[in-house]
Amino acid sequence: MLCLGIETSCDETAVALCDDGRPVAEKLASQIDVHALFGGVVPELASREHLRRMGPLLRALFTETGLGLADVDALAVARGPGLLGSLLIGLATAKALALGAGKPLIGVDHLHAHLMAAAIGRDVPYPALGLLVSGGHTQIMLLRSALDIAVLGRTLDDAAGEAFDKAAKSLNLPYPGGVYIDALGRDIEAERGLFPRPFLDNRNLDFSFSGLKTAVATYVAAHSELRLDVMPSPGGPIDPLDWPMAMRKVCAALNFAIADTLRVKMERALDARDTGPVRALLAAGGVAANSRIREMLTDLTARRGLPLFLPQPKLCADNATMIAATGCLLGRAGLTHGLDLDAVPRGRK
């Protein structure tokens, strides 16, 4: 089954083809340069950028692969969660193509697709425990199979990615700052008590990261050497040696605080009686590209004797390959939608 995937839930416009779950090609246009000027995603600008870029990306995808709409067996599209105006551009495009070509339409849950990015080209043994860490979401999930997923815990306020991005903003680092915090904190011994590991003093699997941004902002306010006037231009290569050691230490401590908070709740989920024994661990989402978090997960699964499934770094962030691959899974199971498919901006419960 050749599936065309369309992703427009936030600030990446992307289209991709997967053949029976195997990636064929992807065209992606990032809007980071547009939103970086505002320090965060501006929803109306995002929708306009999706509209402007969608047509040329589709044309480029078909030109590069030598394939056309006639070769496609199904149209898969991210239906949420995400920004409503942005989702509508993807949905309208997918519906038009499905109607024009007489092919089935498949609405894909964006968070499900993130997790499935970890399974691309691999045989995951189920049940598995999933960790989804992105700019908008932080969830622990139980995957009874690739298509039967229950949310065990979620953030009550900010997502892990937001904690990274807001802390980066306090440090005057470019948006989105997670990748800077990751790089600057690498190869430095983290001072473990510098920042709190929030919301561990309970028995649940939920998260609350909003206090971390206050902790970092308070620390930065008390240490003027941490506020650099000159911001590097976003998107350029990051060399940690260009940055003061004080800044790198803050980043290392923050990477530790977030990674270790995730570790404690994942261990708790693995030990929970109602989770039952799982056979693998999957992690996905933009924040799963973080090197400290990848190290933590590698160590955790080695100790527990579980295989770890992580997407390649470029498939951690938003992309359309994960939508197309999940579309193949759903399509093969006969799960398609009508042309009245709706956007679900707040996601499924």
Where do contacts with Zn ion occur on this chain (CB under 5 A)? 134, 318
290 binds, among Zn ion, ligand KG4, none (CB under 5 to 8 A by kind): ligand KG4
Provide the 10 A C-beta neighbour count for residue 300: 18
Q: Is 337 marked as a binding-site residue? A: no
Whether 198 contacts 211, CB under 8 Å: yes
Q: How far is the CB of 333 from ligand KG4 (least distance, A)?
A: 24
Residue ranges in the chain assigned as alpha helix (H): 32-36, 43-65, 84-101, 110-117, 160-170, 178-185, 210-222, 245-271, 291-304, 321-332
CA distance 82 to 79: 8
Q: Is 148 marked as a binding-site residue? A: no
* DSSP per-residue letters across 161-226: HHHHHHHHHHTTPPSSTHHHHHHHHTTS---TTSS--TT-SSSSS-B--HHHHHHHHHHHHH-GGG
Q: Is 133 marked as a binding-site residue? A: yes
Of 104 and 107, which CB lies nearer to Zn ion in the complex structure?
107
164 binds, among Zn ion, ligand KG4, none (CB under 5 to 8 A by kind): ligand KG4
118 binds, among ligand KG4, Zn ion, none (CB under 5 to 8 A by kind): none
Q: Is 260 marked as a binding-site residue? A: no
CA distance 133 to 123: 22
Of 93 and 138, which CB lies nearer to ligand KG4 in the complex structure?
138
Using CA atoms, how far residue 81 sits from 42, 86, 128, 157, 307, in Å, is: 16, 11, 22, 16, 28
Of 106 and 289, which CB lies nearer to ligand KG4 in the complex structure?
289
Q: Is 178 marked as a binding-site residue? A: yes
Residue ranges in contact with ligand KG4 by CB under 6 A: 10, 134-136, 161, 164-165, 176-179, 182, 285-287, 289-290, 317-318
Provide the total of helices (H) and of strands (E) in the chain, helices listed first. Answer: 10, 10
Of 32 and 341, which CB lies nearer to ligand KG4 in the complex structure?
32
Of 154 and 332, which CB lies nearer to Zn ion in the complex structure?
154
178 binds, among ligand KG4, Zn ion, none (CB under 5 to 8 A by kind): ligand KG4
Provide the 10 A C-beta neighbour count for residue 133: 29
7 binds, among ligand KG4, Zn ion, none (CB under 5 to 8 A by kind): none
CA distance 22 to 325: 7
Q: Is 40 marked as a binding-site residue? A: no
Q: Is 318 marked as a binding-site residue? A: yes
Of 155 and 301, which CB lies nearer to ligand KG4 in the complex structure?
155
Give the residue among 264, 329, 332, 319 at the shortest CA–CA distance from 289.
319
Q: How far is the CB of 164 from ligand KG4 (least distance, A)?
A: 4
Annotated binding site for substrate: 132-136, 165, 178, 182, 290
Task: List residues forming the annotated binding site.
Answer: 110, 114, 132-136, 165, 178, 182, 290, 318
